[in-house]
Structure 1
Amino acid sequence: MRLMAFDYGTKRIGIAVTDPMQIIATALTTVHPDEVWKFLEDYLRIEVVEKFVVGKPLQMDGTDSESAIHVLGFVRRLKKTYPTIEIAEVDERFTSKMASAVIAQSGKKKNKRQEKGIVDTISATLILQTYMETKAF
């Protein structure tokens, strides 16, 4: 069974998944928030997901950021739509900056590095990796 992570944004949602053995986190796609429910319906028809991992936007002092209200609404709908799938939240501070650094180190041309969708999927992958690392202890 896979884990699936979300880097939720009001314009795009980055999505990452693990392999069925939950060893490797991989960027999957970026979807518009209006399309995420159809995407999940289609994906879950084919794959089994054990847990959703959602990036929680926090400020430097650990309190919720302004965008946290949107993530909360997304999490509520996930719980309502998929009540049998557990949900974990992970601090997502710095994931966008880390994702940009990963893209820069990959050698992609600058305009490719600036594509927000790539940043979002890599951010989702970093959120998933963070969860997997903390779960291992």
Structure 2
Amino acid sequence: LLQEFYGCLNQLFYSQMRKDDELVCFRDLKPGARHHYLVVPRTHVGNCKSLRKEHIPLVEKMEEMGRSVLQKKKVTDLDDIRMGFHMPPFSSIPHLHLHVIAPASQMSIRSLRNYGPQSYWFITVSGAATYTISLWVVLHVCFMFTIFRSLCVK
């Protein structure tokens, strides 16, 4: 499936909206609104559940590129957008990709089900950052507790 995704990336070379050394952005093959783009890191990151604290700058850069593409496409209301990731097991591609959708107010019913605010399997950029930081805090606390407990047992 991942090989298929990379093959698709090569086919989408001509539909690229923007690219740099770390990211590439292209139009979604099944758009959920008039503007629906995917921002994809060039290096492999599994999915939004694979994100760690060190990925926060990458996700911020992905969001920045998404906003930049929308501005390039003359989207003026940047408050009427959706940016986020599908949560496994509902992500069809095992490679991190940010959905950038505008205008959010004009998404179809199918798109709202997949990308809308009530979707349980779509996490926004801010939600992904919160999830990542929360996971890091939980792991850190567990690690510290384990060390503390081992010191107390002696």
TM-score > 0.5, shorter chain as reference: no
Task: Give the TM-score normalised by structure 1.
Answer: 0.30
Task: Give the TM-score normalised by structure 2.
Answer: 0.28
Q: Which has the higher strand share?
A: 1
Larger radius of gyration: 2
